[in-house]
Structure 1
């Protein structure tokens, strides 16, 4: 699979990840990795997990989520 963003610029670059929102292939240049806190219900409250989870996003989805 090739990077979608590179494809729109008439380049063929192998993808190393897939956006977790829109599922396009991404090369290292167009890949954004974000940390996400994972919580789960426990008793009467919630517990946060450590370490944070990582999430792969394209530039468009990263901007849309702000």
Structure 2
């Protein structure tokens, strides 16, 4: 799979990730990584726990998320 962003500029680069929001392939130059905290469910006898994760997006979806 090739990077969608690069293909829009007439270049070809191998995708290293898939945007979580739109599903576009993105190369290492275009992928945006953001930390995200996941909350685990509480069950009887267990507390809710937070787990650190990451979210990979393309530049377009990242900009849209930041604007809202």
TM-score by length of structure 2 reads: 0.84
**Alignment match, 1:14:** 14
Distance 1:24 1:12 in 2: 14
RMSD: 1.5
The list of structure 1 runs, each at least 4 consecutive aligned residues, that deviate by more than 2 angstroms after superposition, is: none
Structure 2 residues not aligned, in runs of 5+: none
TM-fit CA distance, 1:41: 2.7
Alignment coverage as a number of residue pairs: 64
Q: Which TM-score applies when normalising by structure 1? A: 0.86
